[in-house]
Amino acid sequence: MRPTHLLSTSTVLIFLSALILETKVNTSEIYTNITKVSSNTTGQQTGTRLLQGDYSSLLCLRLYSEINLRGSWYDMCDSNEAISRKQAWNTRSACSPEMVWYLPARYWALYERPEFYGRYLLLSPGQCIYNIPQYGLKRVSSIVKCTQASVNNPSLQCLYPPLPWNQHFPVSPSAAQQLSSRQLPNSSFPEPLRLRSQPSPLSLTNLTVLQEGSVNSNNTGV
């Protein structure tokens, strides 16, 4: 009778050990699931914050790699006479910052070619272009930032960076200096920005002329 009693006790101990082990495993699995759920929830919250950040109040012109304001993006806060080829060929939509009371109204001219040449789109304050290729522009190679002093004044002050002659043309430094310092003929500049007769960091442009010359003059806000 005694050996039978010992065998029964051993069986009970083995059963209890297995039960405890199974309980630990199940508890661990539950903890893992809870961790995954918490992780997913955190990821969704983070994604929501990032998404809201993309569409918050802009401070600069925002350029997107895909239409409908999607894909990767970068901000352009000043004029640029020669955007990198990779960015120029991968710009499909854009948004300009809204008008704010403490800053003058900002307008952005997006040119198809470098040095502010060729066809261009004009973005008013708070305007978005959701599909740049539909206007016939294959790329955005240069950008001009213009500001309006007052609502009732149609004149814009457009800021031009110094022309980098020595970077885009195979000339010597002395020849480049002569080119940048001498007065250039009007034909060197395309309409409607042919208002400056020589390289100048600041130029006055009429807003109406700039709007009428843009390829999106008949379609505002799209």
At 137-169, the pLDDT tens digits run: 999 999 999 998 777 787 888 888 766 544 544
* Of 82-91, 106-115, 178-187, minimum mean pLDDT range: 178-187
Q: Answer yes or no: CATH 2.60.20.10 is held by domain 63-213.
A: yes
**Lowest-confidence range among 11-15, 66-70, 107-111?**
11-15
Q: Report in angstroms the alpha-carbon separations of 73 from 10, 17, 109, 111.
A: 69, 59, 18, 18
pLDDT at 215: 94
Mean pLDDT of 87-110: 92
Q: Where are the beta strands (DSSP E) in the chain?
A: 61-66, 70-76, 93-95, 105-113, 117-123, 128-129, 142-148, 155-159, 202-206
Q: Cα(17)–Cα(22) distance, rounded to whole angstroms?
A: 9
Query: How far is it, in rounded angstroms, from Cα 186 to Cα 14?
Result: 98
Residue boundaries of the structural domains of the chain:
1-56, 63-213
Distance set, CA 172 to CA 27, 90, 126 (Å): 76, 33, 43
Strands 70-76 and 61-66: antiparallel
Q: What secondary structure does DSSP assign to 149-179, as a single string?
A: S-TT--EEEEE-PPP-HHHHS---HHHHHHH
Average pLDDT, the chain: 69
Q: Residue 213, SS3?
A: helix
